[in-house]
Amino acid sequence: MSKQGQHWTWDAVLTGIVPPVISPLTDAGAIDVPALDGLSNHILAEGATGLFILGGCGEGAWLTSGQRLDVVKHSVKVSAGRAPVLAGVMLPATGPTLDEVRRATDAGADALVAGSPYYNDVDGDAHVRHIEAILDASPLPILLYNIPQSTHHNIAPSSVAKLAHEPRILGIKDSSGNLAHFQALLRIKERRPDFRVLQGAEFAMAASALLGGDGAVPGMGNLTAGTFKELFEAARRSDLASVRTLQIQINDLAGLHSLAGHWLASLKGAISLLGYGAGIPAQPLVPASPAQLEAIRKCLESHLPAHLAKRVAQH
């Protein structure tokens, strides 16, 4: 069922760019609502088709339940039907995850993003049971999320194929960076053409788009969603020269990830230089130092599109 004022379809959303939105924090550790609103508007203005909140970039597993609820509520408010809000519900076990599912559903999220349980070892059957429990707990559709470098569990294509029988499973974001795994996920589309496979690894955007990937969920889409949009559009018209050029630009910009000790501190620092938030990550991480911020600034000024580089230079 469509919400009042909704101006999007899932097909358009999941064949576009859905950045994993960071969660700006104040010095006191609260959600920086003006910064979150401004960043969300920036992301949509750059051509994103959806807002994925409370993922890895959004520090969903590190925030309190109250902070997570604030992010959902304010994201739904600022989106105002222009694009869907996909809320990450990724805690270590099914029980705590279901609590987040209910909160996100009640707060107005348009879809849920769910991956594997983590900390304790689980098998493919457990992955399936976990997602089935979420389906039972909420009427919302689900985008699956494979990020084995964080969960230490790779969601097998066979498990994804079992879940794809359920029409409320929209597709999957694969951040494994394993193109063989990505291609195996694409084969699910042979049986279910509307199943969407999105790439999360920024270095693999060009290859994924040319292999038939539907869209992308890139962390650097917080900065320049338009660059990723241009790459996928170029791939669809078989403009290989543009695809190559845009992937190189993405790779060069990704150099910022190593400039502040932890990629998340670097990304939050970069976003602060666009004017959104103070660059503060959740504890135990620390913000980028002034010297690190200056290095991040130089990277942004060199590798962002001109209109965004100008904003950084003026900030």
pLDDT tens across 118-146, in order?
988 888 899 999 999 999 999 999 999 99
- Active-site residue (options: 145, 229, 268, 276): 145
Quote the pTM value: 0.96
Q: What is the CATH number of domain 10-224?
A: 3.20.20.70
Catalytic, 276? Answer no
Instruction: Give me the residue spans of the domains in the chain.
Output: 10-224
Catalytic, 77? Answer no
Q: Which of 156, 161, 236 is nearest to 192 (CA)?
A: 161
Q: Which ranges of the chain does DSSP label H, i.e. alpha helix?
A: 10-14, 33-45, 65-79, 94-106, 124-137, 148-151, 157-163, 179-186, 188-191, 205-211, 221-236, 240-253, 263-273, 290-303, 306-314
Q: To which residue do tokens 């902070």 refer?
A: 67
CB 58 within 8 A of CB 20: yes
pLDDT tens across 24-68, in order?
999 999 999 999 999 999 999 999 999 999 999 999 999 999 999
Determine how many CB atoms are found less than 10 A away from the CB of residue 285.
Answer: 16
- Active-site residue (options: 73, 173, 229, 268): 173
Residue 52 pairs with which residues in a beta bridge?
20, 86
Q: What is the pLDDT of residue 5?
A: 66
Whether the predicted pLDDT of 1 surpasses 90: no
75 to 6, 143, 223, 231: CA distances (angstroms):
14, 18, 17, 26
Whether the predicted pLDDT of 152 surpasses 90: no
pLDDT tens across 193-206, in order?
999 999 999 999 99
